[in-house]
Amino acid sequence: MTTRFDAIIIGTGQAGPFLAERLAAAGQKVAIVERKLFGGTCVNTGCTPTKTMVASAHAAYMARKAADFGVTIAGDVSVDMRRVKARKDAISETHKVGVEKWLKQMENCAVYEGHARFESSRLVRVGSETITADQIFINVGGRALVPPIPGLEHVPYLTNSSMMDIDFVPEHLIVVGGSYVGLEFGQMFRRFGSKVTIIEKGPRLIQREDEDVSAAIQEILEGEGIQLRLNAECIGFSNHGGEIGAQLNCAGGPNEVTGTHLLLAVGRRPNTDDLGLDKARVELDKRGYIAVDDQLRTNVPGIWALGDCNGRGAFTHTSFNDFEIVAANLLDNDPRRVSDRIPAYGLYIDPPLGRVGLTEDEVRKNGRPALVGRRPMTKVSRAVEKGEPRGFMKIVVDANTREILGAAILGVGGDEAIHSILDVMYAKAPYTVIQRAVHIHPTVSELIPTMLGELQPLTDRARVRAPEAAASVQLA
Ligand SMILES: Cc1cc2nc3c(=O)[nH]c(=O)nc-3n(C[C@H](O)[C@H](O)[C@H](O)COP(=O)(O)OP(=O)(O)OC[C@H]3O[C@@H](n4cnc5c(N)ncnc54)[C@H](O)[C@@H]3O)c2cc1C
């Protein structure tokens, strides 16, 4: 027997539960389906647990540096990974249970536990049950990409999900992938006490960032003893009686790295391959993401896709914003759109990177006249006082409109301070609004107006000023 609803939501990530609440509150009969962990990636294997572990790693780092602050710690600093994991588990569990209880107690909302598959554009099967609705919202997220590298079948490997079970300090962690996930895990495990080697096939880390940002991050990580192998493509793995060997196609350095544990952090793939989308005739793009329009409608009327599975964002805040866009259009007569969103994200190495808008390189490529401002963290009192002068901040503005085009703050508090820039970008106000604002002393944010008062034309010469950032890193 098929049960009829007004709306079906597949997945309980960062969009689905909020949409369920809005639809149910509007009097609609809602079904929400979850196949595994309530709350999805962010809560269980992504943002929450990793940032909890980053905090433990920061505590270890600060404990080792305690003497610099005049604080004496008797004996060696050591890390009890079982307690690190227990702290992480407790925080994640609270979120997961919170989402589950919230949904199960929600009026007008039925929770189905199991894997959902379309049988047609209006019919979804969950185990032995079938449910139908005229509106279906897909919020199935993604998972770690496991590339078909020869020999992978002979070695144990970890992904961001299985890393959550680690309750010991690996002797030597090999991380394949020098982007966001790989760098966060790499630095935290180095601080926990592992030897860490990060293998990246490109010439620099996080290649979508500007070269000076990549260079400063490289110095931060190398300064903490992380081995980086750049321009090194992993072409095979072998099992050396318990040790893992990663064979590299590289120009310089040994062509094999051996370690005790292997983390694959080479990207994500959407959970769209086992959803019966062909039966619903929902179109995918060539990377396997669900194709959507600016208001997140798929090609099939009555089916929407939200969150990581639509390829329009890869973050918790973008998935939540997808919920806001769909709810505004359906319930509030407010035509919100994805294209209203300004790209913004953090990289949670320590110190963190806060990023908004275009990179300097992107501005340069699109050729519009621009101004750029820079300031090393060595010239930010708050950073110096905190004993963390690594990194730098920079901002690019349109020379004609005076609107801010993009910014990066790599440094202590960078993930928070970036928001004053983001908000002025949303206001479409000229940069002079921040330049003339009186910010609180001493903060990282107080130097944003100063930086904006020292803008220079964006030329090729300005680009080679990255050594400022390097100098600040060496001081740490
Ligand atoms: C290591 C790591 C760190 C991260 N850190 C950050 C960060 O600091 N900040 C940030 O903004 N983002 C971060 N992200 C990204 C963030 O986790 C995701 O962008 C976010 O979770 C949004 O996901 P979502 O809503 O699309 O779906 P998800 O959270 O992935 O949830 C999808 C849900 O759908 C369920 N599901 C899938 N298929 C089916 C099916 N067929 N039937 C039923 N249920 C199904 C899944 O079990 C899952 O619960 C991180 C990701 C990783 C991997």
Task: Express the helix, strand and coil content of the chain in percent, nearest 5 each.
Answer: 35, 25, 40
Q: Is the CB of 308 under 6 A from ligand 1?
A: yes
Q: How far apart are CA 307 and CA 331, in angstroms?
A: 19
The mean pLDDT value for 329-348 works out to 98
Residue 240, SS3 per DSSP: strand
For ligand 1, atom 8, the nearest C-alpha belongs to 47
The residues carrying an active-site annotation are 441
For ligand 1, atom 51, the nearest C-alpha belongs to 46
Q: How far apart are CA 404 and CA 422, in angstroms?
A: 9
pLDDT of residue 471: 37
Q: Give the least confident one: 9-13, 373-377, 471-475.
A: 471-475
pLDDT of residue 469: 41
pLDDT tens digits, 194-229: 999 999 999 999 999 999 999 999 999 999 999 999
pLDDT tens digits, 286-329: 999 999 999 999 999 999 999 999 999 999 999 999 999 999 99
CA distance to 20, 116, 126, per residue, from 111 (Å)? 10, 12, 11
Q: Is the CB of 319 under 6 A from ligand 1?
A: yes
The mean pLDDT value for 339-345 works out to 98
Q: Nearest 5°: CA angle at 163, between 162 and 169?
A: 135
Taking the model in full, what pTM does it have? Answer: 0.95
Q: How many CA atoms lie within 13 A of 254 on its CB side?
A: 9
Cβ(44)–Cβ(37) below 8 Å: yes
Residue 413, token pair as written in the block: 């508090």
pLDDT tens digits, 2-33: 999 999 999 999 999 999 999 999 999 999 99
Q: How far apart are CA 69 and CA 61, in angstroms?
A: 13
Cβ(375)–Cβ(450) below 8 Å: yes
> How many angstroms is it from 311 CA to the middle of ligand 1?
12
Mean pLDDT of the chain: 95
116: amino acid identity, one letter: A
Q: Which helix (H) or strand (E) holds 136?
A: strand 135-138
Residue 250 has pLDDT above 90, yes or no: no
pLDDT of residue 12: 98
pLDDT of residue 460: 65
pLDDT tens digits, 379-412: 999 999 999 999 999 999 999 999 999 999 999 9
Question: Dihedral, CA atoms, 119, 123, 125, 128, nearest 10 degrees?
Answer: -110
Mutate to test the pocket of ligand 1, among 165, 304, 315, 348 (most ligand atoms within 8 A of CB): 315
